[in-house]
Chain A
């Protein structure tokens, strides 16, 4: 570890920044429905989620191995500047989609950024496109479908089984579903930790291998696991309130029963695919599950225009991040001045997004209140959304 250069250090720090954006982008996946139904208060929800994120990071490294050694060819002449460019592309896409409250996939942003930067900096042979299709594209199509079908079936089953209980003992049923929601929300957070924190671990490991600090095919060292998990947990704790609003009350109005079914489906899909080393997007799974839970009640309860815009952003995420990452690689590959220029532009765009976001702030206090003109006190339950799409409202 003695010969870590300033550039490698910059890449590691950038990877942590990405992990932070990953955390606050994806808090919504685990906790949006729990917050929307009032099962947990917003602050408590993000705190629980952050702790479990961190715990999840230690559980398994299957997905990390998919990145370092799977999608990108470590031996193709990949250098830290290219990885840096890829990370900047991913961070910028994450920030812009957060500004508009779109639950896009942090994983796809990361893969897109890295693929674009590698193609520009190294060439087509630096990317294992077969692995991209098998480990990223196919799971991306299948995962929301599987989670959606599971959530829809589970919602229907739950409604049938508890119909009498909901009539005879409505308070008991409600309490039960809320408890179930808290438990499944915790599990999604844990699964998110095992899945997404690993992606950054994979990138840092890839950088250390590219810099020659680790041998080929190495697994992430402990300090990488700890710091990646911590960066994501911190991001999670900060809460991506804009996206939580979209997923919790923008897509469909979620009851505790549906939230429970959706989160159970999401957990099952993430954990089973994590086990097989498939780097699927937690975001796609959770959005698919929320949609499925909506369909399980009635297809009309889903706001298909919001769903449609989300689907478009899913398709765009990988190529858009690849474009930004590729452009950044073009500059960053020209030495220290290039890397500094990319860092400066990246920081400027991030600052711009932050300033822009202050104009219509969404926080723990107003995440469930869809109309920003409404009183600043958060209502206990989600206010149904009018025709106005949340991307514009937030």
Chain B
């Protein structure tokens, strides 16, 4: 029996790391947006929030790109 531990390890590592990074990014975005709503952050907070959400969206799109074989031969 030839168990592909490597593949399992990759799934585990990629799964956990990408989850935590994306959720954290999104939360940083929420925190920045919240600061702005609460009045303690100006344009910088808004820029931060928008770039966090944009990065999240980019991460998701990259993930989708990876699983669609037609997109990368």
A residues neighboring B (CB under 8 Å) = 59-60, 62, 130, 133-134, 138-139, 142, 146-147, 149-151, 153-154, 157-158, 161-162, 164-166, 168-169, 171-173, 176-177, 180, 183, 187, 190, 194, 260-261, 264-265, 267-269, 271-276, 278
Contact = CB atoms under 8 A, between A and B. Distances in A.
Given A60-B69, A142-B11, A162-B30, A272 B18 contact: yes
Contacts of B23: 154, 157-158, 260-261, 264
A189 to B, nearest CB: 13
A268 B15 contact: yes
Interface string B25-50: 01111110111011010000000000
A268 B62 CA distance: 12
Chain B residues touching A, majority SS? helix
B63 A271 contact: yes
A280 B12 CA distance: 13
Given A162-B31, A176-B30, A273-B11, 16 more contacts: A142-B12, A153-B19, A157-B24, A158-B24, A162-B30, A165-B30, A168-B37, A169-B33, A172-B37, A180-B26, A183-B60, A194-B67, A267-B63, A268-B19, A271-B64, A272-B14
A372 to B, nearest CB: 35
Contact of B33 (A130, A172, A267): A172
A162 B27 contact: yes
Secondary structure of the A side of the interface? helix
Given A154-B19, A154-B23, A161-B24, A59 B29 contact: no
Given A134-B1, A157-B23, A264-B23, A165 B31 contact: yes
Contacts, number: 137
A151 B15 CA distance: 10
B22 interface: yes
Contact of A60 (B4, B14, B30, B68): B68
Nearest to B19: A150
Contacts of B8: 138-139, 142
Contact of B31 (A161, A272, A278): A161
Given A134-B4, A142-B12, A278-B7, A169 B34 contact: yes
Nearest to A159: B27
A260 B20 CA distance: 11
A261 B64 CA distance: 19
Contacts of B24: 154, 157-158, 161
A339 B66 CA distance: 42
B15 A147 contact: yes
Contacts of B4: 134
A173 B24 CA distance: 14
A274 B15 contact: no
Contacts of A169: 33-35, 37-38
A164 B34 contact: yes
A162 B16 contact: no
